[in-house]
Every structure is written in structure tokens, then in C-alpha cells.
Chains A and B, each alone.
Chain A
Amino acid sequence: MDLDLTKPVPETQPWSEQFWQGTKQGKLLVQVCEDCTARIFYPRKACPKCWSRNLDWIEASGKATVYTFSTAYSMVEPKFMDELPYTIAYVDLDEGVRMMTRIVECEPEQIRFGMKVEVVFHERGGFQLPYFRPVKP
């Protein structure tokens, strides 16, 4: 059986390149619409609220709150098996958008709904994936 064990990297669009460039500089960027002020995640070619092309970016604080999570112990793709166990979560950024991420630097049992987390970038294949870790008190 010929399994591809290469770790996947994001399949980007031209209008999301700036997001990924930002992560390489340690910045978590959120797209904003200059016309209707919508904060947009994931990045789009046109504002999904007003179709304006007048889009810009703000740098997020990197602070977020765990909305929900699930910790994987088995039955993931073979290319991710060496990373088990790991926790996938939806986090709400303080800037008002939600993204999928991983929660790292803590035991899975310590993760809670509403837990405060902060961004920490994880290198993969030339990309910096935005993971999140608990905010230390």
C-alpha cells in the first residue's frame, strides 16, 4: 500500500498569502473590510458581508478563548499518527473571529471550555501554523 506520509501544508489562495506571510513574522493577522468594518476569517477575495474589495489586515493580540475541543487518541490519518494524542479546538479570538487550531503545551485533561489561550506558531513545511497554548496565570 502506497500511503503518502507527507505532513500537509495549507493550500493557499492569492488573497490569503498575506496571512501566512504574517505568521512567518510571528503575527496573527485578521482580515478587515474597510467599507463595512467586518472582521473576516478565513480571508476572502471579497468581503462576504458587502462584497467590497477594499480589504486590509489588523494584527490580532493572539489571545483567544476555547469554544470547543476534541482530543484524538487514534484513527487519524497515518501521516498524523506520530503526533498522537493531540487536541483540535475551535478558539474565539479576542478580535471576534473563530478559527480551528491545536491546543499545545498542556495535558489534554487540563483543557477546559472557556479556557484562555494564546497563539504560538508551529513550523511545518515552510509554513508557521497558528497553534494555541494556555495563558499562564
Chain B
Amino acid sequence: MSNAKVAIIGVGEVPTANLPERTHWDIIYDTCIEAIQDAGLHRNDIEGVISVAPQAQPKITSELAFGKLPEELGLDGCKDTVSCNAGGSSTSNCLRLAEQWIESGVAKAVLVQHVTLHSTIPLADQINFFAKAGVDLQWEYPFGTTYNIMMGLIANRFMHESGCTPEEMASVVTALRSWAARDPNSMFYKKEVPTVEKVLASGMINTPLHRRESNVLGDGGSAMVLVSAEDAKRLKRPAAYKLGDSARYFSGTCVMRDYKKVYDGLRVTAKEAMAQAGITKDQVSLWNCYLAYPLVHPLMAELLEVAPPGQGGKYFLQGRMSFGGDIPWSTIGDAPGRGHTGSGVSAAHYVETARQLMGKAGERQVKDCKYVYQNTMGGSGFNNIATIWGKEI
């Protein structure tokens, strides 16, 4: 018998793009109304509103934290609202809070939303924020490290230990962009999918990270409506039921991050979430991994036991995780495919998880999609939250 307590029954999203004329509230209106309508609910049915805290956008962060959204959208049935910040794992925590509100009777239907406008953040503020977020100001920042370098440190070590080649790493971009090219909400929708050769020729940012292996910042937003699993079933609408959840904390400071502990954590959270859901890895229809950088995907494929040790990169190079391959993987193309919307990439992944389980993923639809593994990681990798979602209970 399933232990599902909540389900996503409605989603809304806007295309990721740098459009400064499209304001935060433009996006909030469009995504939230779409999600509530997609759920088949009335605005007054929404009794709780939870926002993913935007990063480096103090004005909208304050407006959301201090309760403007329900008033702005006329959600007259709203009983409470809050914002939640855990970096890239914020959305997982928003969904957990929604689950708690629904289970405890605070709210029958909860709206979870995210919005980010990178294009309106002054460049100096953007540089200042991203240079310091998740970086220790005493033991790391003065040496000149960056997010890209932190990813380079873990990727270089992984390549050294596993034998993963630059070509195999570059093929991850090809795989992710093959999905993104078919995603109307991606910055790279209908754009050419770069070959391995193009990725490797794009110039080195820091070893082993090439320009095309990094992220493009974009504006975006999405929203979801959650109700209890019983209500979702009663409403007889397409739904994504939450079946499992497991988390591990690693470290706040990058240099304190024991890679073995991270590897073990990624492995065990997947196993625990699947055990809660009562499924095995062979039943997972889609591995919807949110890792932000392509370099970490081969490692993740090995830790999830989707690929044998030392074979993660080879699987990507063989096209097995690409659109049309036999292992559906990160079907919005993760941040390198979607465009990086800060803490919103994790929200976009959950929307995609729901969309796939509801059968609404269009050209990217995974055939007979029944169970989805979805993870989120916060900050520069301080934690991992693994979840399992299912089509039915």
C-alpha cells in the first residue's frame, strides 16, 4: 500500500529567457494562474502559498516573505504564506512544508512557486553575490575560488579516479541539450545541439570545465499546486504522487566536503527514497537529476547504479541519456539545458517530474512514465535531497 501523502495536480511555467521587461510579478501572475487552472481549482481553493526564495533579488524576496503574493492574486482563501531558502534544494523543502501543511490541516491546497530575474540584477551585484554565496570568506574566497572552480575540483578528482575522459564529459552537454532543444521553456529550445567537438573547442574556463560546460543565467519561473493524495485521487485528474524522500547534509564549506561522504550520501539517499516508495531502481522511468553542472552527471549515473563504476561518461558518450536513448535522464537538460534560474532550476525539475507523470511532456514525454527519481542539491553542494514520485497510488 502506498504511503503517498501529497500529489502535484497542477503546474505552470514561463519560458526561460533574459527578458528584463517581463517583471517578477508578470511571471508570478502567469505561472500561478496557469498552475491553479491546470489543477482545476478556483483561486479561493488555495489555502497556503509557499515561495522558493529568489537569490540576490532582495526586493522581491522581501515582498514574498512578507506576504504580498496571496493579496496580489486575490487568493482570498489563503490561510498562510511563507518563503523558504535552502539554495538549490529550496523547492524540495517547500514541497515538504506543503506536505506538512496538508497533513496537519493547515491547508487543503498549497501553491508552491518560484520566480527569478537575473537580467535586472546589476552586473556588479550579480558578480558580488555569486562570488561569495556558498564560499567561505575566510578559508576559500581570498584564494580566488569560484563556483566554476569548485566544480572543477570535484570533476578533476572524479576523472582522475574513474578514467572518465574529456570527450565523455563533453558528451553530457550534448545529451542535456538534446532534451533542451525539445523543451519550449528552455533557453535553447530549437537551438543546435553542440557536438562533443564543439564543446571541447569552446575554450577552457578552468580545468576541466569548458565554456559550453558552464551555465547561462536566465529569467524564469514556475508554480505547482499540491493537495493530499486522497484529494488528488478523488479529483480524478492527472497527478504526480510523492512516494519517497531522503536527505543527507555534507558540509557548508567546500573544502570540508569529504567526497566519499558525498558519494555515499548520493547513493544512500536514492536507496532510502526508493525503499520508502517501495520500488527498485529498475522501475524508475526517468532519472530527473538536478546537478547544475554537466560535469557531475557521469558521477551521479554511477552512484545511482544506472551505469557501472567507470562507465558513467561512456554511457553519455554512447547517447544512452540523450533524447531517444534508452535511459531517460534530466529531460529539461538540467541547468545547462534549461538556462540557470538560480534556486528555480530545482522548481523547474519538479514541474518536469510532474509533467512527465501527468503525460504532459510533449515531445520529451517518456513512454509509460510511472516512477521518477528527482534530486536537488543546495548551495555549492551542501546537501542532497532524493525524492521518488509516481503516477498512481
Contacts and interface: CB of A to CB of B under 8 A. Distances in A.
A58 interface: no
A51 interface: no
B324 interface: no
Contacts of A90: 153, 255
A77 B133 CA distance: 13
A100 B139 contact: yes
A108 B206 CA distance: 11
Interface in B133-149: 136-146, 148-149
Interface in A40-79: 42, 67-78
A76 B160 contact: no
A73 B206 contact: yes
Given A68-B154, A77-B131, A88-B149, A9 B142 contact: yes
Q: Is the interface of A mostly helix, strand, loop or mixed?
A: mixed
Contacts of A80: 144
Contacts of B123: 1
B296 interface: no
A72 B131 contact: no
B256 to A, nearest CB: 8
Given A80-B144, A99-B255, A100-B255, A10 B156 contact: no
B127 interface: yes
Contact of A1 (B122, B153, B206, B209): B122
Interface of B: 122-124, 127-128, 131, 136-146, 148-149, 152-157, 160, 203-209, 214, 253-256
Contacts, number: 109
B254 A11 contact: no
A57 to B, nearest CB: 16
B156 A100 contact: no
Contacts of A68: 153-154, 156-157, 160
Given A10-B137, A90-B153, A72 B144 contact: yes
A100 B145 contact: yes
28 contacts: A1-B124, A2-B124, A3-B124, A13-B138, A16-B138, A42-B253, A68-B154, A68-B156, A68-B160, A70-B208, A70-B209, A72-B148, A72-B149, A72-B206, A73-B206, A74-B204, A75-B206, A76-B149, A77-B127, A86-B144, A88-B149, A90-B255, A98-B255, A100-B139, A100-B254, A101-B143, A113-B160, A129-B143
